[in-house]
């Protein structure tokens, strides 16, 4: 690239006014780029704040439906459900995960009844239902892969039958994308999409989320035997390639901001719709610093979301979705 030398080239000319900056802007952030993760709990007309995530709530099914209507009116195209399961329903066999009347499935139906146009994304993993707090079955301290995949297939089918548009396997078991895709095809759910958590790292940024779904106290050990080593990048590309070959429609990197290099490499290597999850720890740091006046919370929030787009994301799962949508719409 050849540039004229200074003073013929003055980069500040393009920054001299808001209009010039807008014309030269390389990356845009829109409401349609946002997916809103929400937490659903038992009860009626219930809404309780998650202590480690200020401004984020566990909502009963009826209040989830109301929130979905509000989100849709803001232009947010998709909502992602995570259940806060009663501890009495957590078992070794995780059977609540594919119960047609579990929280996730009831919330899916309620959202579709209230606002059919809202895309509903669901989470496929056993940790909200597992007495051991893991994403898979545990036997003698080991996480069982193949047996877990069989359960995940049942969970995914129950979600598809409830009306889910997008299923997000977040468990990181080997072979689950192919097994779920085959089951969806065989059972008539050909239009249900798989957004695979293809590169999900064994991260310290998930703590507040585990509080939100009630998995923190149940978790025994860590998830390093199935989630990715934070030191690895080439492995992420191999995992994405595998999941695409097994039938994933879209892929995701999780967490978000600490792994924007992975987002960029995935997008450059495969050119497929690529998403990232701005996870609970990322949210809590930005929100907490903003509430304490240590940073301009709104400015940092929007800057962080723009960073995802600049790295190559097609969309972002973020707890900031309604707040960011209001700012983008000027409302």
Residue-wise pLDDT for 192-234, tens only, equals 999 999 999 999 999 888 777 766 666 777 899 999 999 999 9
pLDDT per residue over 128-151, tens digit each?
Answer: 999 988 999 999 999 999 999 999
Residue 89 phi/psi, 5-degree rounding, is -100, 5
Residue 27 domain flag: no
Would the pLDDT of 331 be above 80?
A: no
Active site residue 200: yes
What was the pLDDT predicted at 156?
Answer: 98
Q: Residue 320 pLDDT > 70, yes or no?
A: yes
Rounded to whole angstroms, the Cα distance separating 68 from 60 reads 12
Query: Per residue in 244-295, pLDDT tens?
Result: 999 999 999 999 999 999 999 999 999 999 999 999 999 999 999 999 999 9
The per-residue pLDDT for 325 is 98
Q: What is the distance, to the nearest Å, from the Cα of residue 236 to the centroid of all Cα atoms in its chain? A: 17
Residue 1: inside a domain: no
Distance from C-alpha of 270 to C-alpha of 287, rounded to nearest angstrom:
33
Q: Is residue 2 part of a domain?
A: no
Catalytic residue among 89, 254, 287, 309: 254
Catalytic residue among 89, 90, 112, 200: 200
Task: Please state the domain count of the chain.
Answer: 1
Q: pTM for the full model? A: 0.95
Domain extent at residue 79: 33-329
pLDDT digits (tens, 9 = 90+) for 46-77: 999 999 999 999 999 999 999 999 999 999 99
Asked, for residue 3, whether it belongs to a domain, the answer is no
DSSP state of 116: T
Q: What percent of the chain has pLDDT over 90?
A: 92
Domain assignment of residue 17, yes or no: no
CATH number assigned to the domain comprising residue 82: 3.20.20.70
- Is 90 part of the annotated catalytic residue set? no
What proportion of the chain, given as a percentage, has pLDDT over 70? 98
Q: Give a yes or no: residue 154 inside a domain.
A: yes
**What pLDDT is recorded for position 216?**
60
3-state secondary structure 214-280: CCCCCCCCCCCCCCECCCCCHHHHHHHHHHHHHCCCEEEEECCHHHHHHHHHHHHHHCCCEEEEECH
């Amino acid at each position: 690239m050849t540039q004229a030398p200074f003073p013929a080239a003055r980069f500040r000319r393009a920054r001299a006014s808001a209009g010039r900056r807008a014309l030269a802007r390389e990356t845009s952030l829109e409401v349609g780029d946002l997916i809103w993760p929400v937490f659903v709990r038992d009860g009626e007309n219930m809404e309780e704040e998650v202590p480690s995530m200020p401004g984020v709530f566990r909502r009963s099914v009826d209040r989830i439906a109301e929130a979905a209507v509000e989100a849709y009116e803001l232009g947010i195209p998709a909502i992602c459900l995570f259940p806060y399961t009663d501890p009495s329903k957590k078992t070794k066999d995780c059977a609540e995960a594919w119960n047609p009347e579990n929280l996730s499935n009831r919330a899916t139906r309620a959202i579709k009844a209230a606002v059919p146009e809202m895309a509903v994304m669901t989470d496929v993993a056993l940790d909200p239902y597992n007495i051991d707090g893991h994403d898979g079955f545990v036997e003698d301290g080991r996480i069982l892969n193949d047996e877990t995949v069989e359960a995940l297939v049942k969970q995914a089918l129950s979600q598809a039958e409830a009306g889910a548009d997008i299923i997000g396997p977040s468990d990181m078991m080997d072979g689950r994308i192919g097994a779920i895709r085959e089951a969806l095809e065989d059972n008539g759910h050909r239009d249900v999409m798989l957004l695979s958590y293809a590169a999900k790292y064994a991260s310290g940024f998930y703590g507040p989320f585990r509080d939100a779904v009630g998995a923190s106290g149940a978790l025994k050990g860590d998830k390093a035997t199935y989630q990715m080593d934070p030191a690895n990048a080439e492995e992420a590309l191999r995992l994405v390639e595998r999941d695409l070959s097994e039938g994933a429609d879209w892929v995701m990197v999780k967490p978000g901001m600490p792994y924007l290099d992975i987002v960029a490499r995935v997008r450059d290597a495969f050119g497929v719709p690529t998403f990232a999850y701005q996870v609970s720890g990322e949210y809590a740091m930005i929100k907490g610093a903003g509430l304490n006046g240590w940073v301009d919370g709104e400015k940092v929030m929007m800057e962080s979301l723009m960073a995802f787009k600049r790295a190559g994301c097609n969309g972002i799962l973020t707890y900031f979705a309604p707040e960011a949508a209001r700012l983008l719409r000027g409302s």
